[in-house]
Amino acid sequence: MGNLYLVDRPFGANGLALAVRDGDAIVALIQDGVYLDTAELQKAGRRVYAIQRDVERRGYGPRLAEGVKQIGFEELVDLIVANKVVNFA
């Protein structure tokens, strides 16, 4: 079981700063969280997901960092069930 950081933008910096240092971190960007810079996370080897609907509504797909996997709500629920949620949303 990993630590699933659910991250929206308002607290995004706080959550991502912890997730970078957390070897068990998995990050799911939701709502305005899709705008966050994930370079440090990816450099640290963390898995990073973004909610596809939130990306598409914002027209942000072309700007999303390579390696950030877009997922739907069903996959998000699976992640929530399988991991401990650390909420920054």
Partner 1 sequence: MAQKHVLVTMNHAPYGSIYYTEGLRAVVGVTSGIDEHTVDVLYLGDGAYYALKGVDRRDSLKYLGTLEKLGARLKVERESLQRLQLSESELAEDIEVISRDQALDLIRRADVTIDF
Chain contacts with partner 1 (rule: CB under 8 A): 3, 10-11, 13-14, 17-18, 21-22, 24, 84-89
CB of 60 to partner 1, least distance (A): 23
Q: Using alpha carbons only, what angle is made at residue 22 by residues 56 and 53, rounded to the nearest 5 degrees?
A: 10
Expressed in angstroms, the distance from the first to the final Cα of the chain is 20
Alpha carbon 25 to chain centroid, angstroms:
10
Q: Which residue lies nearer to partner 1 by CB, 49 or 88?
A: 88
Sole residue written with tokens 């997901």: 49
Q: Which residue lies nearer to partner 1 by CB, 24 or 56?
A: 24
Q: Which residue lies nearer to partner 1 by CB, 63 or 84?
A: 84
